[in-house]
Structure 1
């Protein structure tokens, strides 16, 4: 005789030393009792820097990401492994550094190098989670490949959705301030007519909500990949209206700022691509409008989790694949090793965990994989090169001896950088093409390169050794 399932208790359990919530159900004496698993809502944002309210930016309006930060732990010194979409995402999702994945560009699929690696979503899928992707998680080109699979990894998912909205179909209406550059790497924008739901990111949120509703009673790993604020910066007009052009603040500039920076360190040449102050404000306004539009879509997800009473059963992590320069040192976009390009937003909200906390420890996107595995009690089949953040989720100021490593490639020259809580140290071509050292305690904008200062000789030596420790795989 089939017995009715009875929900009997909400238990507190410890997963790798971290307190989380679990629900236990009973189906009768002949059935196995099993604790329901924590869900994962995995929110990826494309080309988002730390210009967010919860990170101290008072100009940019991000009420929903700020709301998420109040629910969990904000990491103030989180860094990408490679400030370019595919290398970064391949590293995060495989748990391996770029020198292991060998992904340094936008064309090669990581499975050509690591055919048998078990990815983060695949780990959950292999452990009886419903694994689904909506939008961009693995790399594909924006805007060119919107609506396609791009470099997706099919065995990672039970289900996938590739929305395509009017931002894609109306590309001909986009204004390009740098017309010699393709839309995906241009300072280009459009204040669109119509509603949020007509844009690709609005569709992403709506499709994700459908899955939440359908799978609310099953353990799920739901990866939601937003396209904005990746260029071109397209959003409904109402988000542009939040930022009057004359009020947009450009980054601080210092005369002769580039004099002590190795030429190879510069991605944007000439500085600001020759744009006027007015044009730079126009581009930055559009970038911020795209951020606020994306933030509104994050809000829809959070609202739906609350409505479905899934918030206390779901680990939420929000991250960006890399940071984004918006004029610092005359640089725009990614592909540099300056702080604004290497640093990323990273927020965890864990059931039963601390709320509204911030950690100043140096962490990496590489740490997301082992953290989610630990929180959900899963064992990855391969060694991961990141470190679980569970101790910092318990105590954001816990003792932590881990530096953060970021690298980039200029043709065949590598730049490699190590970030401690105080310093950033960078070598180009092993130091042959230049060295940089910035003291963030005294110079958070990285205006003064101290690498050749005699007072910092010991610091350079120590950080050079630390850098080499982080890159054991030679080219």
Structure 2
């Protein structure tokens, strides 16, 4: 047979099997026609954590107690350099769950629904649903306003699920008891604490864990994609008292940073103004203490899920993935929370546990993105691969965590009309604000992991700036194959 004809037929067959059709130069995804037989399917326990940075025991933090996430890391592969695509809840989740970059979803804020731009895009859970999985959500997966929308559907995507559960606990009903250190700011974007009375199970996240376990028990005999979204450590920092007691205030320290740290940072890079919101050191330490207490509380709920997987004899057929939508500044460079392009805001904890893995407990030093989760889970579960995905399967790194990897991570943020874009390689972080007109940043992470010395204007590093600027522009182009946008 003519080789050109054979190649043409192979491409047609691939498009048929993956559900891809060519429309006006774009590849548009349609439901797959060839689901994988049920006997070959892994379950997926998909754990999302809201506003969690890398202050965890397994990532080397000396104070934070996270025994259950640490335990998950010991039975999986931990990615030490994983990055979100936009450090804000809704844009990050829209990107991860659609497999599209923020410039493709066009979600840069907390109110835009990706479906208004891409009504036909197939989300990660929706793809599993179309391939014979039971799909369910408990808690926050797509965007929720926290704490305002706890107990509601928030900005959910009904097409993704067969069942949803929206728990609501004492943290919501007792909001009047929360102490706000910045009273002019709403509870979801402030430093606010409550050492709560009662048990874990009375809090929303405690209820999330219990409801998720019930669904595992009910659906353990068929393939499931169970998405479990915890709300803590998102502000307000509410947890039972015992978790605050783990962190005596005199043990909480503030970041040790050079006195001249802020002098070489572009004004555009700073989202917290004034620095530290004008809080004194004691107030800052109270905020950090509350954040750490809620991490440990959330971690305990993760432990209940892992225990249930083991108790129900699901460990040998269930992939567990844990991720956070973005990182979190805790007085670093005078910044708090998210919406910045510093490492602490862009970097996220990310762990995947695959049954039968020979690399349990290993840590991968390679630079990866949350965009990679969609193609990775599809690959591991042997489902047809949608053609619109911008990320890459991490299966090679799950099989060999130190394998050669030539991809970089791209993170961006938009404030009004100002766009900042950042690229992270294994050695460098390079950032441009308004394409460089509002400032640039270059940090050598081998020598300066705290990002204290901006090398962007140092002529000695002009070659690195030019190279990274080119990579930044190339990496932010839309994928060659993408879903059609709504015109």
TM-score range, shorter-chain basis? over 0.9
Q: How many angstroms does 1:135 deviate by?
A: 0.1
What is the Cα deviation at residue 382 of structure 1? Answer: 3.4
Residue-by-residue CA offset, 1:407-438 (whole Å, 9 max, x unaligned):
00121010000000000000000000000000
Say which of 265, 270, 275 aligns to 1:271: 275
Cα distance in 2 for partners of 1:257, 1:34 equals 56
Is the contact between residue 133 and residue 160 of structure 1 (CA under 8 Å) also seen in structure 2?
Answer: yes
**Secondary structure at the counterpart of residue 61 of structure 1:** coil
Measured in 2, the distance between the counterparts of 1:350 and 1:118 equals 24
Aligned pairs for 1:171-210 within 5 A? 171-210=175-214
**TM-superposed deviation, 1:473:** 4.6
The answer for the alignment partner of 1:91 in structure 2 is 95
Q: Which residue of 1 aligns with 2:159?
A: 155
Distance in 2 between residues matched to 1:55 and 1:73, nearest whole Å: 12
2:385 is aligned, of 372, 376, 380, to 380
| 1:187-336 aligned within 5 A | 187-336=191-340
> 2-side partners of 1:83 and 1:407: how far apart?
8
1:43 aligns to what? Answer: 47
Aligned-pair distance for 1:33?
A: 8.1
* Alpha-carbon distance in structure 1 between the residues aligned to 2:297 and 2:258: 32
Please say if residues 36 and 219 of structure 1, whose CA atoms lie closer than 8 Å, have aligned partners that are also in contact.
no
- For the 8 Å contact 1:41–1:314, the answer to whether it is kept is yes
Partner Cα distance (2:304, 2:293) in 1: 17
Q: 3-state DSSP class of the match of 2:138?
A: strand
Secondary structure of the residue that 1:405 maps to in structure 2? strand
Pairing partner for 1:62 from 43, 63, 66: 66
| Equivalent in the alignment of 2:76 | 72
- Write the deviation string for residues 173-223 of structure 1: whole angstroms up to 9, x where unpaired: 000001111000000110000000000000000000000100110100000
Does the 8 Å contact 1:284/1:326 carry over to 2?
yes
Shift of 1:68: 0.1
Partner of 1:470: 475
Structure 1 residues 309 and 179, CA, compared in 2 at 3 Å: closer, same or farther? same
Query: Are 1:407 and 2:412 an aligned pair?
Result: yes
Deviates more, 1:32-41 or 1:243-252: 32-41
Report if aligned partners of 2:408, 2:424 keep a CA contact under 8 Å in 1: yes
Instruction: Check conservation: 1:48, 1:344, Cα contact below 8 A.
Output: yes
Q: Tell whether the 8 Å contact from 1:118 to 1:382 is kept in structure 2 after alignment.
A: no
Q: Which deviations, in whole Å up to 9, do the C-alpha atoms of 1:230-256 show, x marking residues without a partner? A: 000000000000000000121112112
2:351 is the counterpart of 1:347: yes
2:361 to 334, 356, 362: 356
Q: SS of the residue aligned with 2:333? A: helix
What is the RMSD computed on CA atoms of the aligned residues? 1.1
Aligned length: 443
Gaps spanning 5+ residues in structure 2: where? 1-35, 480-487
TM-score, normalization: structure 1? 0.92
Kindly indicate whether the alpha-carbon contact (under 8 Å) linking 2:101 and 2:478 is maintained by their aligned counterparts in 1. Answer: no
1:130-158 Cα offsets, whole Å, 9 max, x none, are 00000000001000000011110001000
Unpaired runs of at least 5, structure 1: 1-31
